[in-house]
């Protein structure tokens, strides 16, 4: 009897399947450190610095080098900080990049992303313990898809490619989004054959899944009939195309304390409910006792509505639909202090010092590029307290350096892990002068 071969793990096979390609070269390298994108840094035999995804410091690996980058093909020496990824799509998916790290190593690495960004600007700072804000999982996801003669593809973009990786499920999503991939596949399946892809954004709300579709070439009567069938099949709250409502069975509601916000299509939303609640708690803690608060880049207003329980708030955002949703929610919520919300592009038209001087504290939650233009005006104002919420440590560090140079002191930073298993990290920081 022949000896039974040891069964290889699903993840081992995935190494071979995902990375088997027309390699330009194979090389054995030693990983020296981990970059901010969870890629191991190494030096090749020719002296070139390279970055290899899914590796850890101290590991010796065989890597495949091509014009698109490096890919691990074999682990020769494994790090003690390596663990088995829980998702079978991990190696090929461009979503998560850090499922292979032990929790202690992962936590230190996430904090280190903030510390490194600040150090690059020559700033010394203290970063508190990482707050796990994953909660029940992410409440929003965008699936990419296309349809050609061979069939349909639906899922995420592959790691460092524009190819769509088909998936059956995503374990980092909220259980309420377990049908999301099937919704996306049905929508893609009804589309005409095309080389172009479309994006299906699905958001968990209190009243059901909200769906927005981008990239549709033809949305005539046939489309409406078919999308109606999908809407009722999956009990969707609303379907929009390019932010225009096609069918709505009920308003998609986001609850913020006692307030109910009708979510505008594609409006900004914190990725997890837990993350939003943690951020609100920290904002409230640091605005207690203030008489007038300014909420900049307010979005649909979760901070504004929470703060208005204790003091008046003036809010600005560039998204007119978000401002309208905030205003309606405020008008329908009892017991709030005065709220005034206006549309304003703070990048091209930041609030000027004389407009800022009346406020005790400013809450900033800018997009990834930061609040550079507004920060310069704040320095010229009489405002002495800033709460800065950021999803990008690099732009935050730039803005922090300007504020510190202008006389503000930075208190210890709160790191918040909403995008768990990725290289993204949220933070909240308090500046005082």
CA nearest neighbour of 265 among 207, 214, 335: 214
The upper half-sphere exposure of residue 300, i.e. CA atoms within 13 Å in the direction of its Cβ, equals: 20
Statement: residue 11 has pLDDT above 90: no
CA nearest neighbour of 77 among 25, 28, 41, 15: 28
Q: How many CB atoms lie within 10 A of CB 289?
A: 9
CA distances to 42, 158, 296, 319, 350 from 26, in Å: 14, 21, 50, 49, 52
Q: Distance (Å, rounded) from C-alpha 148 to C-alpha 428?
A: 45
DSSP SS3 for 91: coil
Highest mean pLDDT, choosing among 5-9, 191-195, 256-260: 256-260
Statement: residue 39 has pLDDT above 50: yes
Lowest mean pLDDT among 89-93, 185-189, 293-297, 324-328: 89-93
Mean per-residue pLDDT for 89-101? 90
391 flagged as catalytic: yes
Tens digits of per-residue pLDDT, 242-287?
999 999 999 999 999 899 999 999 999 999 999 999 999 999 999 9
Residue 325, token pair as written in the block: 């949703």
Mean per-residue pLDDT for 35-53? 92
What is the pLDDT, as a whole number, of residue 279?
A: 98
Q: DSSP class of residue 138?
A: B
What is the pLDDT, as a whole number, of residue 20?
A: 45
Tens digits of per-residue pLDDT, 280-320?
999 999 999 999 999 999 999 999 999 999 999 999 999 99
What is the pLDDT, as a whole number, of residue 218?
A: 66
Torsion on CA atoms 97, 101, 103, 107, rounded to nearest 10: -60
What is the pLDDT, as a whole number, of residue 252?
A: 98
What is the pLDDT, as a whole number, of residue 197?
A: 87
Per the model's pLDDT, the better-predicted residue between 217 and 136 turns out to be 136
User: pLDDT-derived band of residue 162, with 50, 70 and 90 as boundaries?
Assistant: confident
Tens digits of per-residue pLDDT, 376-402?
999 999 999 999 999 999 999 999 999
Q: Distance (Å, rounded) from C-alpha 24 to C-alpha 26?
A: 7
Lowest mean pLDDT among 87-96, 236-245, 282-291: 87-96
Q: How many CB atoms lie within 10 A of CB 281?
A: 12
Convert 196-220 to b/e letters by CB count within 10 Å (16 or more is b): ebbebbbbbbebbbbbbbebbeeee
What is the pLDDT, as a whole number, of residue 223?
A: 86
Q: Distance (Å, rounded) from C-alpha 247 to C-alpha 133?
A: 33
Q: DSSP class of residue 361?
A: E
Q: How many CB atoms lie within 10 A of CB 233?
A: 12
The active-site residue, picked from 93, 170, 211, 391, is 391
CA distances to 25, 56, 105, 243 from 30, in Å: 16, 9, 19, 48
Q: What is the mean pLDDT of the chain?
A: 92
Q: How many CB atoms lie within 10 A of CB 343?
A: 13
Q: Distance (Å, rounded) from C-alpha 98 to C-alpha 80?
A: 15
For the residues of 190-205, what is the DSSP string, one character each? TSPPEEEEEEEEEEEE
Residue 210, token pair as written in the block: 């909200």
Statement: residue 333 has pLDDT above 50: yes
What is the pLDDT, as a whole number, of residue 128?
A: 98
Convert 301-315 to b/e letters by CB count within 10 Å (16 or more is b): bbbbbbbbeebbbbb
Taken in order of first residue, the domains within the chain and their CATH numbers are 10-82 (2.40.50.140), 109-134+269-432 (3.40.50.150), 140-253 (2.40.50.1070)
What is the pLDDT, as a whole number, of residue 270?
A: 96
Tens digits of per-residue pLDDT, 349-381?
999 999 999 999 999 999 999 999 999 999 999
């Amino acid at each position: 009897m022949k000896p039974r071969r040891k069964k290889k793990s699903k993840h081992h096979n995935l190494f071979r399947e995902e990375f088997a390609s027309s390699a330009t070269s194979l090389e054995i390298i030693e990983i020296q450190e981990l970059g901010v994108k969870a890629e191991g840094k190494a030096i090749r035999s020719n002296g070139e610095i390279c970055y290899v995804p899914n590796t850890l410091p101290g590991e010796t690996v065989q890597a495949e080098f091509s014009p698109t980058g490096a890919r691990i093909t074999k682990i020769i020496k494994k790090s003690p900080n390596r663990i088995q990824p829980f998702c079978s799509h991990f190696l090929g998916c461009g979503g998560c990049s850090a499922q292979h790290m032990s929790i202690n190593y992962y936590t230190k690495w996430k904090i280190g992303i903030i510390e490194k960004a600040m150090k690059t600007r020559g700033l010394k700072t203290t970063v508190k313990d990482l707050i796990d804000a994953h909660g029940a999982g992410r409440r929003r996801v965008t699936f990419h898809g296309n349809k050609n003669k061979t069939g349909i593809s639906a899922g995420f973009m592959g790691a460092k490619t524009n190819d769509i990786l088909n998936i059956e499920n995503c374990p980092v999503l909220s259980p309420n989004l377990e049908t999301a991939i099937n919704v996306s596949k049905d929508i893609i399946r009804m589309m005409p054959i095309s080389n172009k892809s479309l994006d299906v954004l699905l958001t968990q709300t209190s009243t059901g899944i909200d769906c927005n579709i981008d990239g549709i070439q033809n949305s005539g009567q046939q489309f409406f009939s078919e999308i109606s069938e999908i809407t009722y099949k999956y009990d969707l709250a609303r379907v929009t195309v390019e932010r225009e409502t096609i069918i709505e069975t009920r308003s998609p509601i986001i609850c913020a304390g006692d307030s109910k916000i009708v979510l505008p299509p594609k409006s900004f939303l914190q990725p997890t409910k837990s993350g939003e609640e943690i951020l609100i708690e920290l904002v409230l803690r640091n605005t207690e006792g203030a008489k007038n608060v300014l909420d900049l880049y307010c979005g649909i207003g979760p901070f504004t509505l929470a703060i208005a329980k204790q003091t008046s708030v003036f809010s600005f955002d560039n998204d007119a639909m978000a401002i309208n949703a905030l205003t309606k929610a405020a008008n329908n919520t009892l017991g709030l202090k005065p709220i005034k919300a206006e549309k304003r592009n703070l990048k091209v038209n930041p609030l000027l010092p004389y407009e800022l001087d009346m406020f005790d504290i400013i809450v900033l939650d800018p997009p990834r590029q930061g609040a550079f233009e507004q920060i310069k005006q704040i320095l010229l104002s009489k405002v002495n307290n800033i709460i800065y919420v950021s999803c990008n440590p690099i732009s935050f560090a730039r803005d922090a350096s300007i504020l510190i140079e202008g006389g503000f002191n930075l208190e210890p930073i709160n790191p918040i892990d909403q995008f768990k298993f990725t290289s993204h990290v949220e933070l909240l920081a308090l500046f005082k002068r």
